[in-house]
Structure 1
Amino acid sequence: MHDIRAIRENPAAFDAALARRNLPGQSREILALDEARRGKILAAETAAAEQNRASKEVGAAKAAGNDAEFERLRALVADKKAEISRLTEEANAEDAKLRDLLLTIPNLPHPDVPVGADETENVELRRWGTPRGFNFAPREHFDIPAVKPGMDFATAAKLSGSRFVVLKGAVVRLHRALAQFMLDTHVAEHGLTEMWTPVLVKEEAMYGTNQLPKFAEDSYQTTNGWWLIPTSEVTLTNTVAGEILEAASLPIRMTALSQCFRSEAGSAGKDTSGMLRQHQFEKVEMVSITTPDASLAEHDRMTRCAEAILEKLGLPYRTIVLCTGDMGFGAQKTHDLEVWLPGQNTYREISSVSVCGDFQARRMNARFRPVGEKPEFVHTLNGSGLAVGRCLIAVLENGQQEDGSVELPEVLHPYLGGKTRISAAGVLE
């Protein structure tokens, strides 16, 4: 949500920031609605003052026996009461229009975000690791012999349709090990507090983290009004909704493993093979709540937390900063981590880490109290640490061997009972 006062004070700057996102200016329409709303409010307040004055004079007219004046004043009070009701209703309608418009406008990009039209203009910050050389043609994850017994798309389609998978045996144990490894690392080494939250939320929680109204078609809603979360960013961030936090309690750093649900409404024809893009998947999420002056440093820290997971797994990756044309709706600035997938011979996104400024906090009314000062809106950040299914794909593809087996990262061996590989027959050994 945007600060209407900031738009009033500098509409040109607001439109210029939207232009960096390749969007048209919105300040004229916003300010017209704001002026209409404020005009109705002022008129209602004026009518209320006139009603109060007439109400006081009614008694005096009656006491003086001035029946004509008494009737005139009594009629005036009734008229003003009706006028106030009408003006208040009109002001509320203008306010709703203004709010609905502001809810559809994305966050303004941070000044240091590169300007660009689409993903081709993202800027690479750094790379880690060297993609492994293969003396055979590397397969995509679903074609690796070791994986085939444990990745069942046919049964999933029978149960649920396309873009679902049933994991079995060694593959599902590896999937579980990856999630546990990520959580343990974030808690023990990165200082995050582990949480467990619902996957069904109220509509206001989805609005709070800007999933609604923009991304309604990408999410699932139950018949009784709950929404299935697309990521635990929704629940973790909304834990501070409506709160006034003490400055000393910040930063708040949280992590959670959760089921995530996305309809992928805009992805028809994309990544239909394998489990790269699913309707239901697991993700380890990171969320931080900070003071405004600390949020950019926290963004860099969270990015390093995600990078550390990939480095411990020995997975080559690159870190990019998204340009203004590729950045998500609620983000001020985003770092994407892209892991090397030899089966596709390319880097693919495995984590997005975003700083949102006070954009979500205004929607949630989440504030903190600086010592001796008035409450201010907190800043919120979120990031994948990591998407478990995509990490599973990366481990399988990077560890595949010519005989069809998969060698597993050393850091996962303790999570797999000392097993170090999946045989070509699909058995942990």
Structure 2
Amino acid sequence: MHDIKLIRQNPAGFDAALATRGVSSMSEGLLAIDEKRRAAITQAEAALAERNRASKEVGAAKGRGDEAEFERLRALVAEKKAEIAQLEADAKQLEEELNGQLMGIPNVPYEDVPEGADEADNVELHRRGTPPSFDFKPLEHYDIPAVKPGLDFETAAKLSGSRFVVMSGAVARVHRALAQFMLDTHVEQNGLAETNTPVLVRDEAMLGTGQLPKFAEDSYQTTNGWWLIPTAEVTLTNIVSDTIIDESYLPRRYAAHTLCFRSEAGSAGRDTAGMLRQHQFEKVEMVSVTKPEDSRAELDRMTACAEGILDRLGLAYRTMVLCTGDMGFGARRTHDIEVWLPGQDTYREISSCSVCGDFQARRMNARFRPEGGGKPEFVHTLNGSGLAVGRCLIAVLENGQQADGSVLLPEAIHPWLRGKTRISADGDLI
């Protein structure tokens, strides 16, 4: 959420920043509501002062026996009490209206974010690794002979509908190994704290990270009001909601492996084959909570943590900085990592790392107390995939496919497979 004080100080700059994201000018309407709200507060304070003065004079008038003045002052006290109540109610209503509008406005990008309308305007930062060459036409993951026995879309459709899969045998084992490899790497080598969080959350948690109110249709809600998390960003970031932590506590770096749920409301007809885009999937999520001056460098650190997983798996990838028109709602800068998928002959997103500044912290009321004293400040938050487990599985299967239909598995995950190194063309882990 945005700070109305900063909008007051530089309305033109606020509108200019939003314009890079394709959002029309907002400051005039916001400031009009804010002006009415502040006027109501000022009037309420003046009425309170007037009531207090009259209250003090009531007793004196009674003591003098001045009944007329006593009655006038008593009536004035009652009148001011009602006036204050109305003004305070007006101020509260205006504040709710203002906050409601602020909740629906996306974050403003950093100045170094490239301007653009959509993904075509994203800018490549670097490429690493070399896509493998094949002496046959590489298949998509669901057509590889070794993989077919382990992916059952028909049974999943019977159980749950489209965009679900039942994994079994070697494929399920490799999927689990990848998640464990990622989590262990982030904890043991990257210094993140392993965390296990709920997948059902209250409205407040979804509001805090920006999924509500604007993107309710993208998530699932239970009949008793809980939301299924679209990512562990929601739970990990909200660990610090409504708290004031000591500066010495920062930075905090979390990692969690969870189920994730997305309705994919805006992706009808996209990636319907295979398991690239599902309603239920798994991710190893990274979240960092930092001091304001450290957050930009933390984005580069988080990006490197995600890239390191792909480096160890021997997968080719490229890292992009998203343009203003393609960034997520809460981000100020985003790095997307795209892994090479031979079956599609292209790079596809496998991780998105974003720095949000104090945008989420204001929504969550998450602050820290400076070591030298002074007023508490809002923390900065970051989030990133480290990685999407299902998409990583797709990349491992497609990049490791062999002419005989088998799949060679990356050496990095052999320890989590008890030394197994491949999936045979019949679907056995060997």
In 1, the alpha carbon distance for the partners of 2:261 and 2:89 equals 39
Task: Output aligned runs, 1:317-396, within 5 Å.
Answer: 317-372=317-372, 373-396=374-397
Work out whether 1:414 is the aligned partner of 2:419: no
Task: Output aligned runs, 1:3-402, within 5 Å.
Answer: 3-372=3-372, 373-402=374-403
Aligned partner letter, 2:332? Q
Gap regions ≥5 residues in structure 1: none
Stretch deviating more after TM superposition (13-22 or 196-205): 13-22
C-alpha distance after superposition, 1:131-172 (max 9, x if no partner): 111111111111111111111111111111111111001000
Cα deviation for residue 203 of structure 1 reads 0.7
In 1, the alpha carbon distance for the partners of 2:369 and 2:65 equals 58
C-alpha distance after superposition, 1:44-83 (max 9, x if no partner): 1111111111111111122222222211111111111111
C-alpha distance after superposition, 1:19-67 (max 9, x if no partner): 1212111110110010010011111111111111111111112222222
Aligned partner letter, 2:345? N
In 2, the alpha carbon distance for the partners of 1:335 and 1:240 equals 24
In 2, the alpha carbon distance for the partners of 1:245 and 1:87 equals 35
Aligned partner letter, 1:427? D
In 2, the alpha carbon distance for the partners of 1:18 and 1:417 equals 52
Q: What RMSD over aligned residues (CA atoms) do the two structures have, in Å?
A: 0.8
Cα deviation for residue 374 of structure 1 reads 2.1
Q: Secondary structure at the match of 2:315?
A: coil
In 1, the alpha carbon distance for the partners of 2:90 and 2:294 equals 41
Cα deviation for residue 212 of structure 1 reads 0.7
In 1, the alpha carbon distance for the partners of 2:69 and 2:332 equals 62
Number of aligned positions between the proteins: 429
Aligned partner letter, 2:402? Q
Stretch deviating more after TM superposition (9-18 or 60-69): 60-69
C-alpha distance after superposition, 1:393-424 (max 9, x if no partner): 00001111111111100111111111111011
In 1, the alpha carbon distance for the partners of 2:304 and 2:254 equals 15
Aligned partner letter, 1:343? G
C-alpha distance after superposition, 1:279-301 (max 9, x if no partner): 11000000011111111111001
Cα deviation for residue 215 of structure 1 reads 1.0
Aligned partner letter, 1:331? A
Q: Secondary structure at the match of 1:286?
A: strand
Work out whether 1:404 is the aligned partner of 2:386: no
In 2, the alpha carbon distance for the partners of 1:255 and 1:269 equals 32
Q: Secondary structure at the match of 1:75?
A: helix
In 2, the alpha carbon distance for the partners of 1:13 and 1:109 equals 12
Stretch deviating more after TM superposition (16-25 or 110-119): 16-25
C-alpha distance after superposition, 1:240-278 (max 9, x if no partner): 111212111211111000000111111111111111011
In 2, the alpha carbon distance for the partners of 1:164 and 1:62 equals 79
In 2, the alpha carbon distance for the partners of 1:220 and 1:58 equals 59
In 2, the alpha carbon distance for the partners of 1:305 and 1:216 equals 30
Q: Secondary structure at the match of 2:387?
A: strand
In 2, the alpha carbon distance for the partners of 1:85 and 1:5 equals 26
Q: Secondary structure at the match of 2:204?
A: helix
Q: Secondary structure at the match of 1:163?
A: coil
Give every structure 1 segment of 4 or more consecutive aligned residues whose post-TM-superposition deviation is greater than 3 Å. none
In 1, the alpha carbon distance for the partners of 2:280 and 2:215 equals 17
Aligned partner letter, 2:113? V
Q: Secondary structure at the match of 2:102?
A: helix
C-alpha distance after superposition, 1:371-405 (max 9, x if no partner): 22321111100000000000000000111111111
In 1, the alpha carbon distance for the partners of 2:196 and 2:394 equals 25
Aligned partner letter, 1:416? L
- State percent identity of aligned pairs: 72
Aligned partner letter, 2:413? L
Q: Secondary structure at the match of 1:328?
A: coil
Aligned partner letter, 1:316? A
Q: Secondary structure at the match of 1:348?
A: strand
